[in-house]
Amino acid sequence: MTSTDTSRPARSSRSGVQDLAYITVFAALLVVLAFVAIPVGTAGVPIVLQNAAVILAGLVLGGRRGFLAVALFLGLGLIGLPVLAGGRTTLAALAGPTVGYLVGYLISAAVAGWIAYRAPARKRGVQAVYFILAGVIGLFLQYFFGALGLVWRAGLSIGEAALAQVPFLVPDAGKMAVMVIIALGIHAAFPDLLSRKK
């Protein structure tokens, strides 16, 4: 009885350190992807890999840890580090037309992760359905909040803001398919991630 009780804090401590490592690694990945951006459209919003990687964080880490990874990444930008596409800081983006996407990043990681972690561990077919659903809903949330930001900061109408998303649909669908495949591969290699239900 005593040995079981003393082992629980040790396991909890290891789990906390492991979670911190996961969160830090994904935040670092998001920062690295800031160097990949292709300007398109008329609203000043580039095609980036960060939006897909945000959802990947949720698919791999779950809602809570995925949210924290994105929060850490955006927090680094708040203290002046150029963490966003084009070398921008989070502070600079908050005053621009892409502010809504930053909100969407946080929410999409949390929601996509929550959905993905409802999938049963070690059942690849069912996991794929959950992960695809999580990716689609996560991407929709980014578009939704991104459009609201364009209405607020760029002075677009709702219709114009919705049309501004069109150039991103096909590239984002392709990126999302790749992220789902990567996430499924990671969970196949580390099935205990889903078992922990973070």
CB 77 within 8 A of CB 42: no
Measure the CA–CA gap between 139 and 109, rounded to whole angstroms: 9
Structure tokens at 82: 């150029």
Residue 5 has a pLDDT of 54
Domain ranges of the chain: 17-194
At 142-160, the pLDDT tens digits run 999 999 999 999 999 999 9
Measure the CA–CA gap between 38 and 76, rounded to whole angstroms: 23
Residue 1 has a pLDDT of 46
Contacts of residue 41, defined as CB under 8 A and 6 or more positions apart, other chains included, come to: 164, 167, 168
Judging by beta carbons within 10 Å of its beta carbon (0-12, 13-18, 19+), is residue 42 exposed, middle or buried?
Answer: exposed
What is this structure's pTM?
0.87
Query: 39: which strand partners?
Result: 46
**For the ranges 15-19, 108-112, 147-151, 194-198, which has the lowest average pLDDT?**
194-198
CB atoms within 10 A of CB 107: 19
Contacts of residue 196, defined as CB under 8 A and 6 or more positions apart, other chains included, come to: 15
Residue 123 has a pLDDT of 85
Per-residue pLDDT band at 51 (split at 50, 70, 90): very high
At 29-49, the pLDDT tens digits run 999 988 877 766 555 566 788
Distances (CA, A) of 191 to 12, 74, 75, 118, 188: 19, 29, 30, 14, 5
CB 61 within 8 A of CB 23: yes
At 94-124, the pLDDT tens digits run 988 889 999 999 999 999 999 999 998 878 8
| Strand, coil or helix: 36 | coil
Architecture of 17-194 per CATH?
Answer: Orthogonal Bundle (1.10)
Measure the CA–CA gap between 18 and 88, rounded to whole angstroms: 30
**For the ranges 5-14, 70-79, 83-92, 118-127, which has the lowest average pLDDT?**
5-14
